[in-house]
A and B are shown apart, each in its own frame.
Chain A
Amino acid sequence: MKTPTRVELRIPSLPEFVAVARMTVAAIACRMDFPYDAVDDIKVAVGEACTNVIEHATPESPSPEEIEISCLLEPEALVIEVRDRGRGFDPDLHAQPDPFSEGGLGLILIQALMDEVQLTSLAGQGTQVRMLKRLKPVSTGSAR
């Protein structure tokens, strides 16, 4: 069996580099022949995951931390992991964000746009968002 291709990217944890991450991953999704709407979903989800790192995970410091973006190109899906080495947080506190607050919208979007999402965070050790988008939606209809 062919080993899935992995593409890795590191960007400074700065707002001006978020577009670099989302455009790069969108290009990978295009290469995998995802439909246009799915490419857009992936682009938004990656942008939100990186933005979340910048806004919540990076401690104030004179030199920016890095965001690591890893893409695993599987035959039927694209798996994207966005990691930081920031201060981490309690994921349970972010499980039910208020959509009418100014913050907390990013995770709602990621969960709605991707097929699978796992959020792992440990205080002082950083956060990882693992997102999966399938090339073809899983059929929910009954077989004939």
Chain B
Amino acid sequence: MNLRVKSRRLGAGTGVVELIGEVDVYSASQAKQNLHELVDGGANHLVIDMRATEYLDSTAMGVLVGVLRRVAEKGGWVRLVGLKPRIRRLFEITRLDQVLPIFESEQEALADLAGKEGVP
């Protein structure tokens, strides 16, 4: 299975990226490109929807840390949503869950932005 990436904007400074399939050393560059396009377009708050992410490796984690560094410089954040237990475990092992907060749903991840920046 390859990777499909779907991205959309929610208001001026917020973007949602869906990672569908496998994000590994082969496909991570595709995810990186989509994420950087959103950041370049002004989205400093990023929700990564991983409900349909079937596999994820350290290269993909590196991409997420890289984009976090970019948006954090501008006061932004990256939040993860809908991780399968086996993928969530990888973030806990590496302690990346401490810098990339994990939420059950997109609504939960965006709760503190509701009504701001055009976020519904």
Contacts and interface: CB of A to CB of B under 8 A. Distances in A.
Interface stretch (A1-9, A70-78, A101-109, A133-141): A101-109
A101 B99 CA distance: 12
B101 interface: no
B113 interface: no
B94 A48 contact: no
Interface residues of A, number: 25
Contacts of A99: 94-96
B34 interface: no
B22 interface: yes
Given A48-B57, A99-B96, A109-B90, A19 B26 contact: yes
Contacts of B57: 44, 47-48, 51, 106
Secondary structure dominating the interface of B: helix
Interface in B62-120: 62-63, 65-66, 86, 90, 93-96, 99
B12 interface: no
Contact of B66 (A47, A54, A102): A102
A101 to B, nearest CB: 7
22 contacts: A19-B26, A40-B86, A44-B57, A44-B90, A47-B55, A51-B59, A54-B25, A99-B94, A99-B96, A100-B65, A100-B99, A102-B63, A102-B65, A102-B66, A103-B62, A105-B58, A105-B62, A105-B94, A106-B57, A106-B58, A108-B93, A113-B93
Contacts of B86: 37, 40
A47 B23 CA distance: 11
A18 interface: yes
B24 A108 contact: no
Contacts of A27: none
Contacts of A51: 24-25, 57-59
Interface string A64-105: 000000000000000000000000000000000001111101
- Counting contact residues on chain B (CB < 8 A from A), the size range is 20 to 34
Interface in A97-144: 99-103, 105-106, 108-109, 112-113
Contacts of B61: 105
* Residue of B22, B55, B58 most packed against chain A (CB within 10 A): B58
A67 B58 CA distance: 18
Given A18-B25, A109-B94, 11 more contacts: A15-B24, A18-B26, A19-B22, A37-B86, A44-B57, A51-B59, A54-B25, A55-B59, A99-B96, A100-B95, A105-B58
